[in-house]
Structure 1
Amino acid sequence: MYFLNGDRTYIKPERVCGDLKDQLQSCLEQLEKINSGKRIFKLNFFVNTNSNSEYDILLNDVRDQLNDLVGSEILISFIAQSPLSCKVIVEAYYYDPEHWDYQMISEGKNGTALFSNGQTEILMGTVHANQNSNCRLNAEKAFDELVETFEEAQFPLNSIVRQWNYLEDILGFDDEEQRYQEFNNVRSDAYGNVFEQNGYPAATGIGMSHGGVLIEFVAAKSKEVLTQPVDNPEQISAHSYSEKVLVGDECNLKTTPKFERARYLRYRDKKMIFISGTASIIGEFTVGIGDAAKQTEVTIQNMQRLYSEQVLAALPDQAKNPKFGHARVYLKNRKDYAGVRKVVKQVFGDLPVVYILADICRDDLLVEIEGKVILE
């Protein structure tokens, strides 16, 4: 994480011709070398699984191996999304222990870590619910755990600045209730009105093949931290969508997705923008239907508007020299990989990018991209 005087790195298997077990072992071997020079505190495993039972078995096996390699004091997210260039990719986050004190305040599926530097505290973690096939019930369990985590850590819920929401079968239905819409309803209920004063978190809502509901979060509590929403002038805020674009006509309740297009964060001399999961939407409607390359172009333009001169000039701090830091690119269809990758490379060059196969929150959206911008 940039504001923790660290960053992230992507670990890919050195032997892409092996099976999943071989590729996973290759990543873990590299992890051991990386951790000797950097203090890793969080690992995201992007890997496809064929069933929820296989998901649980693989997750437990990875946890056991990591205990031997790096010890138990590390956050782990196991995300059932298939990388497009191999069978598994590991996203490793690290920090600088000379600037930050670090402690795990809970471990396991609902792991939480607390970073502190003087009067500044950063809370990061994961809540995971996979006890039920019903999305609403898993979402309720996950948000109950989230609220409880923040109460125990004595953090206000509205201190969340960045959130990732991974949903099994995001576009599916439980009877007549569309699963992503049910998640949004539960999120709206859990949030209540606590975010009304200073806006919602930047967030990504994306599908995964198995695993129920998994939520990751970053929260900041400090008088030295300034954070505020960043809007794209060409898009309607997701939390202000009309019912025209909310899916599931038969749903009994339809609340809007509670997130901002992006969120600015300043801590001392560090300034950055978290860019939410972004898609080919102008106003509130999908653009480039059926054309993944066109949707990628529009998506990148939407992202660039979030750190345009017009937007930066409206920030309370002087912010210049924006530098796009990394990207995750989610694709609905494997066949679109080459075309989407070509567009991304034309714009961002050799920027670190991972390409993930995942369902996206609208039937007609083929691509979603998230990232960060460093302001120097």
Structure 2
Amino acid sequence: MYFLDGDRIYIKPERACSTLEEQVESCCMKLLKINSGKRIFKLNFFVDTESDEAYAALRGQVKKRVAGLFPENILLSFIAQPPLTCKIIVEAFYYDPAVWHMQSVSEGENGTAIFRNQNARIVVGNVRSNQNISCRGNSENAFETLSDVLEKAGFSLENIVRQWNYLENILGFDEKEQRYQAFNDVRSQYYGSVFENNGYPAATGIGMNRGGVIIEFVAVKGDGVITSPVDNPEQISAHSYSEKVLVGEECLAKTTPKFERARYFSYSGKKQIFISGTASITGENTVGVGDPVLQTEVTIQNIQRLYSGEVLQKLADEKLEPKYGHARVYVKNRKDFHAIRRTFKKHFGNLPVVYIIADICRDNLLVEIEGKVILE
């Protein structure tokens, strides 16, 4: 990760690998080479599995293989979002141990690590709940665990600056309650008023095929840390949406998605903007229904507004040059992949990017893009 004097790398299997097992082994071998001279601490596995049983078996296989490859504890997430060009893609995060001291706070399904240097502390981790058939129940368990692991590290919810929320069957319903809306209601309950003074985290809320609820997070505190929300003037903040774009029965209390469009983070000379999951929304309404190219164009325009010259002037007194660092592109329908990729490359060229199949938080949204912007 950039703010840990490291980065992230996307690992794809060799083309000759046909089975899932061969692709897993190919990625693991590549990880060993990458880890020489770089300290990997977190791996996200984006996987295509046909059933809950296959997903569980793969998790067990990969956890055992990773434990055999790395002597230190590695944070792991298994996200059931099929890659577009293979059965598995690995997202590897690394840091500079000469600058940061890492200590594991918790392991297993709810792995968390704290990074320290002279003045700052940064917590990176993930929590998972797949114990309940309802999204509300899994969300409550996940947020309860999140609060516990943060407290164990000496942090609280208000220290979170970036969050990823993966929801099984995000657009589905548990009886009459939409699953994404249930997650938003639980998030609002746990957040309470702790973010009132300095805005919410940047965040992504995205679907996955199975696995319950997974929350990944970055939390920061310490001397010299500066963090603030970044708005897009062409979009209504998600936490200020009107009732008409929230899904569910009119008689039920519904809360808005509690996240910012982006978030600025500065520490020790490193400056960046976390770009939340961004889609083709102007104001609070979807633009380009049924048109994946137009939706990708509008999405990119929304992202670019988050690091425009006007925005950067407000963030710092010095002149800042933005450089888009990486992207995840979530594609709703496989048939739209090539059109979306062509449009993305037209704007960003050969930027490191991974394309994933995933349901997005509205029925009429076809693409969502997230990433980070480095400011130099």
CA distance in 2: counterparts of 1:25 and 1:252, whole angstroms: 49
Counterpart of 2:73? 73
Counterpart of 1:49? 49
* Runs of 4+ off more than 4 Å: none
CA deviation profile, 1:8-66 (whole Å, cap 9, x unmatched): 00100013551111111110111111112210000000002222222222111110110
CA distance in 2: counterparts of 1:22 and 1:74, whole angstroms: 22
3-state SS of the aligned residue for 2:315?
coil
Q: Is the 8 A contact 1:279 1:299 kept in 2?
A: yes
Residues 1:164 and 2:164 are matched in the alignment: yes
CA distance in 1: counterparts of 2:300 and 2:374, whole angstroms: 16
Q: Is the 8 A contact 1:16 1:86 kept in 2?
A: no
Q: Is the 8 A contact 1:15 1:26 kept in 2?
A: no
Residues 1:358 and 2:351 are matched in the alignment: no
CA distance in 1: counterparts of 2:234 and 2:172, whole angstroms: 29
| 1:86-165 → structure 2 map (5 Å cutoff) | 86-165=86-165
Residues 1:229 and 2:211 are matched in the alignment: no
CA deviation profile, 1:296-321 (whole Å, cap 9, x unmatched): 00000000000001111111442411
Counterpart of 1:334? 334
Counterpart of 1:347? 347
Which AA in structure 2 matches 1:306? L
Q: Is the 8 A contact 2:105 2:152 kept in 1?
A: no
Counterpart of 1:83? 83
Residues 1:212 and 2:212 are matched in the alignment: yes
CA distance in 1: counterparts of 2:354 and 2:160, whole angstroms: 25
CA distance in 1: counterparts of 2:109 and 2:288, whole angstroms: 38
Counterpart of 1:179? 179
Counterpart of 2:21? 21
CA distance in 1: counterparts of 2:103 and 2:319, whole angstroms: 32
CA deviation profile, 1:276-333 (whole Å, cap 9, x unmatched): 0000000000000000111000000000000001111111442411000000000000
Q: Please, what TM-score do these two structures have when normalized by structure 1? A: 0.98
3-state SS of the aligned residue for 2:170?
coil
CA deviation profile, 1:152-172 (whole Å, cap 9, x unmatched): 111121110000000000000
CA distance in 2: counterparts of 1:110 and 1:16, whole angstroms: 34
In the alignment, structure 1 segments of 5+ residues that lack a partner are: none
Q: Is the 8 A contact 1:166 1:206 kept in 2?
A: yes
Which AA in structure 2 matches 1:120? A
CA distance in 2: counterparts of 1:209 and 1:293, whole angstroms: 25
CA gap 1:317/1:89 in 2 versus in 1, 3 angstroms: farther
Q: Is the 8 A contact 2:105 2:149 kept in 1?
A: no
3-state SS of the aligned residue for 1:82?
coil
CA gap 1:17/1:104 in 2 versus in 1, 3 angstroms: same
3-state SS of the aligned residue for 1:97?
coil
Percent sequence identity over matched residues? 66
CA distance in 2: counterparts of 1:2 and 1:317, whole angstroms: 22
CA deviation profile, 1:318-368 (whole Å, cap 9, x unmatched): 241100000000000000000000000110001011100000000000000
| 1:168-317 → structure 2 map (5 Å cutoff) | 168-249=168-249, 252-317=252-317
3-state SS of the aligned residue for 1:37?
coil
3-state SS of the aligned residue for 2:162?
strand
CA distance in 1: counterparts of 2:16 and 2:314, whole angstroms: 46
Q: Is the 8 A contact 1:123 1:219 kept in 2?
A: yes
Which AA in structure 1 matches 2:336? D
Q: Is the 8 A contact 2:147 2:156 kept in 1?
A: no
Could you tell me how far 1:250 is from its partner in structure 2?
5.6
Could you tell me how far 1:142 is from its partner in structure 2?
0.1
Counting matched residue pairs gives 376
CA distance in 1: counterparts of 2:317 and 2:271, whole angstroms: 9
CA distance in 1: counterparts of 2:252 and 2:181, whole angstroms: 10
Which AA in structure 2 matches 1:114? I
Q: Please, what TM-score do these two structures have when normalized by structure 2? A: 0.98
CA deviation profile, 1:216-254 (whole Å, cap 9, x unmatched): 000001121100000001000000000111112367221
Moved more, 17-26 or 356-365: 17-26
CA distance in 2: counterparts of 1:310 and 1:118, whole angstroms: 33
Counterpart of 2:370? 370
CA distance in 1: counterparts of 2:172 and 2:72, whole angstroms: 35
CA distance in 1: counterparts of 2:368 and 2:301, whole angstroms: 12
Which AA in structure 2 matches 1:130? N
How much is the aligned-residue C-alpha RMSD, in angstroms? Answer: 1.0
Q: Is the 8 A contact 1:177 1:250 kept in 2?
A: no
Q: Is the 8 A contact 1:66 1:72 kept in 2?
A: no
CA distance in 2: counterparts of 1:29 and 1:283, whole angstroms: 46
3-state SS of the aligned residue for 1:232?
coil
Which AA in structure 1 matches 2:94? Y
CA distance in 1: counterparts of 2:209 and 2:218, whole angstroms: 24
In the alignment, structure 2 segments of 5+ residues that lack a partner are: none
